[in-house]
Amino acid sequence: MADYERRNNGYRGGGGGRKRRYRDDEDFDRRPQRRRYEEPLFVQVRRQLLTIAESVCSAFPHPTARHCLNTNARCATSQAARRVEDDIMRIAQSVAENSEDPDMRDTFVNISLDLVLEQPMKIPFVAATSLVVYNLKAELGVEILKKAGEALQKHIDSGSWREVKLLLRFLGGLQPLFEGNGVFALLEELFNRAVDLQTTSSEDLLGLELVKIILFTIPYVMASPATGFESQALALLEKTDIIASTPHALVDLVNTFGPQEHQDAAGPSLISLLQGQLQTEAEQGWELKCLPRPWKGVQEIEKDDQEPGQNPFEPVNKIAFPDITVPTSVPHGARPLFPEIYLSVYANQDIDTVPPTSNVASSLLRDALVDTINLLDFNRVAVAKYLIDVDCYFTPYIFVKRATPFDRMRDLAGEALAWKPEDVAVDAVFSQLFQLPTPEHKLVYYHSLLTECCKIAPAAIAPSLGRAIRFLYNSLETMDVELSARFLDWFTHHLSNFGFTWKWSEWIDDLELPTVHPKMAFISGALDKECRLSFAQRIKGTLPEPYLPLIPDIKEDEAPGFKYLSELTPYAKEGQELMQLIRKKASDEEIQPVIAAIEEQAQGLGVEDPKVPSTDALMTSICYVGSKSLSHILSCIERNKDRLLSIGAVSETARRQIIASVMEYWAGQPGVAIDIIDKLLNYTILTPTSVVEWALSDSMAAGTVLAKSYIFEMISATVGKVTNRMRQIVAARIQPGLYEPQLSVLEETLERERAAMQSLFKFIEDSVVSVAAGSNDGLMERGDGSGDLPEDDLIRQWGRRWLRAFRRKLAVEEAFITGALANATQVGTVAPSQPEAPVPGEGPDGDVHVPDADGQ
């Protein structure tokens, strides 16, 4: 990319050189002149609206601020911070004065609502602008209200609850405009629906979601210029209490910490927290210190046809709240709902750098930040900038200056309560990265977002990440095992973007811990992952000496050795022969005799399953011949596909030997082994059951295998393949327009696969439950057999943590299937007697096409 850029700006600066040779003597500039034209006013207003409240003159200039400087000449020249209040007035005036320009009207209405739906932190400012516009030009205000109402109706009808929440927030900010109770009437209606849903089912989550929307709307109404709604707010709060404060049955399932491991750390549900916080606010007269009030400090506007002294935010003529119908049967949205937990990685510090859960700011800031993060996943650079600018969008004095060091916070602690903006922002990203069962976007999005934040403001963000890492590292023993895997993945990916620098020295003492200790498991896992993203020699160079033994020399072998080269290995001669044959792509007829020779020998030696040693020789040879790269091994597998496929048909033990051989060959680089096994699953050379059995039965090693991060990775990936395929079958089953006989065919497939999935989970459950209970045979035989060794406790803990994670996975899948099938066409439904339309996805033979299990 660099070369393109250079080509463009190198010419004038004399940097390029080559082109100048024949242009040197021309003393006039022939470059096309940039066209000069006055930018239409609506374009200016568009930009002003889009960048509303973005302070470019903050105390902390950063590289991306440049584009703001370019777009806003006012700001480029003056160093004094612009007041957002003035911006609001200016935008509103431009809009009102040019309201006959259709482009201007469109810009104002559309951009305002786009911002509401995409950049929630700006809603109070957009709402304030709309208020002023209404006062200056009522018909424009009516127009935006009409459009907001239509959008709200549409999102209610489709069950897009986040959008509903944001539009209600916007309308809540316009509360002074409305006759009567305004937004409260709609909130009451939503509450009634929530009650219906809750009374119908104790497991209901949609009703909780509606209550959450109500609770998140109230503070924005109370922070609007409207006054006198305290009693309505309080009445509503009293009603929501019973729903919001009752813990949901699934809360424990999505908790960051297993309640069994760490009772105190079990996080409260988001909604119960918010309920309590709002009650406190109600008692304190709705101070809502964190929410911006961009109308304070603006008193008068001059306008010819209005009397001076008119408050621009106080409408003279009120209007009715948009007409919204909430359907009696409220639709579930596309996104499955789960209870949400409030997690802060800065919770246990001796000084609060983020609002404590007793403060309503913790919920309000988090909510707005999380929505911003999840709505704008298509531009992580922009999100990173908004996160770093978080102090622009809330009451400024609730934050300390950007990049204030943690130690300095200690000195400030005595003064007015204020939080560290970087911590607040980063905390919100972590809350998503560690969201159970799954966050909205792929985990790597949150990785790249943190990377981006760190790139934009390294001095401010890096220390915050450091403290987060320490918190997570110290919570490893109690954290959900899936989350420790996510932590490992993020940590190593993050370091790979910053030269693999980390203060490893501070964990040196932990190297004394047993290998099955969660901290040791994390360290080993992290070094392995770092090596996968880089290479062993490089990683060794970043580590203090005591860590070096953790990266064994075999990691540096790009191509591990071939065990049959040693005469001590049984079947050495045949193994070598086999490898040579595979290397020269010999035919099946040439290979078969060697395989037979091994099996014959094995039989003579009394080996129970002679297919096992022959499979070992075959698979090890394939690994060795294909060791140069993933492509090499893949083509090698491809060539021997039929032979490998036939193994499983004959012997399950031999099938598992394929896994054992791959894992053994790539013992130093388990990442490569996992990739190969993944591909073997795609070829159906391996089955998911074989992988799980190999790991949790053959290799259980008294439960110690559960501490290996790559095993968790492998099992998760395998289970993921199965559940993914299951979801595709469900999707095929519920597609509209499906009739008999396809319905029965699909139903049968679905039932069969569902049973297979359940038995896979059952196997994991049974294997792990015995470890958790300490009744695993191997575990009993460890050491003195008492089960009282210090490690035994740790192993049992791993068992409990695995159990929890896989029980959750099963529960989530079952909930998905049940939910999806609720409205599926009944088996037995015959097509209406019309000319038959071809059913999508159906082959001519009546088979229904189900895409291969892929993706994650």
Partner 1 sequence: MSLLKINTVDRLDRPSAYYAGKQKRRRYNDREEDRDREREKEDELAKLQNATTLYVGNLSFYTTEEQIHELFAKCGEIKRLVMGLDRFEKTPCGFCFVEYYNHQDALDCLKYIGGTKLDERIIRTDLDPGFEEGRQYGRGKSGGQVRDEYREEYDPGRGGYGRAYDELRRAEEQYGSGR
Task: Report the nearest approach of partner 1 to the CB of residue 622 (Å).
Answer: 17
> DSSP label at 83?
P
Instruction: Point out which span in 132-140, 445-453, 770-778, 821-829 binds partner 1 (CB under 8 A).
Output: 445-453
Tell me the three state secondary structure of residue 479.
Answer: strand
Do residues 850 and 728 lie in contact, with contact meaning Cβ atoms separated by under 8 Å?
Answer: yes
Indicate whether 378 belongs to the interface with partner 1 (CB under 8 A): yes
Task: Report the nearest approach of partner 1 to the CB of residue 123 (Å).
Answer: 13
Q: Which CB sits closer to partner 1, 114 or 510? A: 114
- How many chain residues bind partner 1 (CB under 8 A)? 53
Indicate whether 631 belongs to the interface with partner 1 (CB under 8 A): yes
327: left (phi over 0), alpha (psi -120 to 50) or beta: beta
List binders of partner 1 among 468-497 (CB under 8 A). 489, 493, 496-497
Q: Per-residue x/- marks for partner 1, 17-56, CB under 8 A?
A: ---------------------------------x------
Determine the Cα–Cα distance for residues 252 and 480; give it in Å rounded to an integer: 11
Q: How many CB atoms lie within 10 A of CB 22?
A: 8
Q: Which of 13, 180, 414, 499 binds partner 1 (CB under 8 A)?
A: 499
Nearest in space to 654 (alpha carbons), one of 614, 689, 693: 614
Task: Report the nearest approach of partner 1 to the CB of residue 638 (Å).
Answer: 12
Q: Which CB sits closer to partner 1, 55 or 344? A: 55
Radius of gyration for the chain, computed over Cα atoms and rounded to the nearest angstrom: 32
Indicate whether 287 belongs to the interface with partner 1 (CB under 8 A): no
Q: Per-residue x/- marks for partner 1, 413-442, CB under 8 A?
A: ----------------------------xx
Determine the Cα–Cα distance for residues 15 and 6; give it in Å rounded to an integer: 8
Indicate whether 376 belongs to the interface with partner 1 (CB under 8 A): yes
Task: Report the nearest approach of partner 1 to the CB of residue 436 (Å).
Answer: 19
| Triad 105, 106, 108: Cα angle to 5° | 65
Q: Is the peptide bond before 552 cis (omega within 30 degrees of 0)?
A: no
Indicate whether 527 belongs to the interface with partner 1 (CB under 8 A): no
Q: Which of 165, 532, 708, 804 binds partner 1 (CB under 8 A)?
A: 532
Q: Which of 113, 132, 251, 418 binds partner 1 (CB under 8 A)?
A: 113
Instruction: Point out which span in 369-377, 609-617, 657-665, 839-847 binds partner 1 (CB under 8 A).
Output: 369-377
CA distances from 651 to 122, 570, 644, 654, 657 (A): 63, 21, 11, 5, 10
What angle do helix axes 421-433 and 458-474 make, rounded to 10 degrees? Answer: 50
Q: Which CB sits closer to partner 1, 74 or 442? A: 442
Q: Which of 377, 440, 609, 842 binds partner 1 (CB under 8 A)?
A: 377
Q: Which of 81, 326, 381, 756 binds partner 1 (CB under 8 A)?
A: 381
Indicate whether 80 belongs to the interface with partner 1 (CB under 8 A): no
Q: Which of 41, 142, 533, 572 binds partner 1 (CB under 8 A)?
A: 533
Return the H-helix or E-strand segment holding 48.
helix 41-50
Q: Which CB sits closer to partner 1, 380 or 420? A: 380
Task: Report the nearest approach of partner 1 to the CB of residue 669 (Å).
Answer: 8
Instruction: Point out which span in 304-312, 408-416, 626-634, 643-651 binds partner 1 (CB under 8 A).
Output: 626-634
Q: Which CB sits closer to partner 1, 693 or 713? A: 713
Task: Report the nearest approach of partner 1 to the CB of residue 533 (Å).
Answer: 6
Indicate whether 5 belongs to the interface with partner 1 (CB under 8 A): no
Q: Which of 85, 97, 103, 118 binds partner 1 (CB under 8 A)?
A: 118
Task: Report the nearest approach of partner 1 to the CB of residue 612 (Å).
Answer: 28
Indicate whether 555 belongs to the interface with partner 1 (CB under 8 A): no
Instruction: Point out which span in 189-197, 246-254, 532-540, 802-810 binds partner 1 (CB under 8 A).
Output: 532-540
Q: Which of 143, 427, 599, 675 binds partner 1 (CB under 8 A)?
A: 675
Cβ contacts of 573 within 8 Å, gap of 6 or more: none
Task: Report the nearest approach of partner 1 to the CB of residue 551 (Å).
Answer: 16
> DSSP label at 322?
P
Indicate whether 1 belongs to the interface with partner 1 (CB under 8 A): yes
Q: Which of 56, 84, 88, 151 binds partner 1 (CB under 8 A)?
A: 151
Cβ contacts of 369 within 8 Å, gap of 6 or more: 121, 387, 390, 424, 425, 428
Sign of CA dihedral 675, 677, 678, 682: positive
Q: Which CB sits closer to partner 1, 402 or 721? A: 721
Determine the Cα–Cα distance for residues 750 and 647; give it in Å rounded to an integer: 27
Determine the Cα–Cα distance for residues 707 and 710; give it in Å rounded to an integer: 9
Q: Which of 259, 336, 570, 671 binds partner 1 (CB under 8 A)?
A: 671
Q: Which CB sits closer to partner 1, 237 or 384? A: 384
Q: Which CB sits closer to partner 1, 47 or 262? A: 47
Indicate whether 444 belongs to the interface with partner 1 (CB under 8 A): yes
**472's tokens:** 């997570």
Determine the Cα–Cα distance for residues 565 and 665; give it in Å rounded to an integer: 13
Q: Which of 74, 154, 503, 762 binds partner 1 (CB under 8 A)?
A: 154
Q: Which of 142, 382, 769, 839 binds partner 1 (CB under 8 A)?
A: 382
Nearest in space to 316 (alpha carbons), one of 177, 450, 503: 177
Task: Report the nearest approach of partner 1 to the CB of residue 623 (Å).
Answer: 14
Indicate whether 501 belongs to the interface with partner 1 (CB under 8 A): no
Q: Per-residue x/- marks for partner 1, 557-576, CB under 8 A?
A: --------------------
Q: Which CB sits closer to partner 1, 399 or 446? A: 446
Indicate whether 716 belongs to the interface with partner 1 (CB under 8 A): no
Determine the Cα–Cα distance for residues 134 and 522; give it in Å rounded to an integer: 58
**106's tokens:** 């469109």
Determine the Cα–Cα distance for residues 834 and 335; give it in Å rounded to an integer: 35
DSSP assignments along 439-450, one per residue: -SS-HHHHHHHH
Do residues 206 and 332 lie in contact, with contact meaning Cβ atoms separated by under 8 Å?
Answer: yes
Residue carrying structure tokens 């509103």: 92
Determine the Cα–Cα distance for residues 624 and 819; give it in Å rounded to an integer: 47
Determine the Cα–Cα distance for residues 793 and 699; give it in Å rounded to an integer: 20
Indicate whether 3 belongs to the interface with partner 1 (CB under 8 A): yes
Dihedral angle at the C-alpha atoms of 428, 433, 483, 517, nearest 10 degrees?
Answer: -70
CA distances from 762 to 670, 681, 693 (A): 26, 20, 11
Task: Report the nearest approach of partner 1 to the CB of residue 687 (Å).
Answer: 18
Determine the Cα–Cα distance for residues 169 and 492; give it in Å rounded to an integer: 39
Q: Which of 351, 630, 645, 821 binds partner 1 (CB under 8 A)?
A: 630
Do residues 591 and 639 lie in contact, with contact meaning Cβ atoms separated by under 8 Å?
Answer: no
Q: Which amino acid, residue 344? A: S
Q: Which of 117, 187, 368, 705 binds partner 1 (CB under 8 A)?
A: 117
Determine the Cα–Cα distance for residues 815 and 802; give it in Å rounded to an integer: 20
Indicate whether 111 belongs to the interface with partner 1 (CB under 8 A): yes
Determine the Cα–Cα distance for residues 197 and 329; give it in Å rounded to an integer: 9
List binders of partner 1 among 389-408 (CB under 8 A). none
Tell me the three state secondary structure of residue 134.
Answer: helix
Nearest in space to 121 (alpha carbons), one of 72, 52, 181: 52
Task: Report the nearest approach of partner 1 to the CB of residue 776 (Å).
Answer: 32
Which residues contact partner 1 (rule: CB under 8 A)?
Answer: 1-4, 50, 111, 113-115, 117-119, 151, 154, 160, 163, 375-382, 441-445, 447-448, 451, 489, 493, 496-497, 499, 532-535, 629-631, 669, 671-672, 675, 678, 852, 854-856
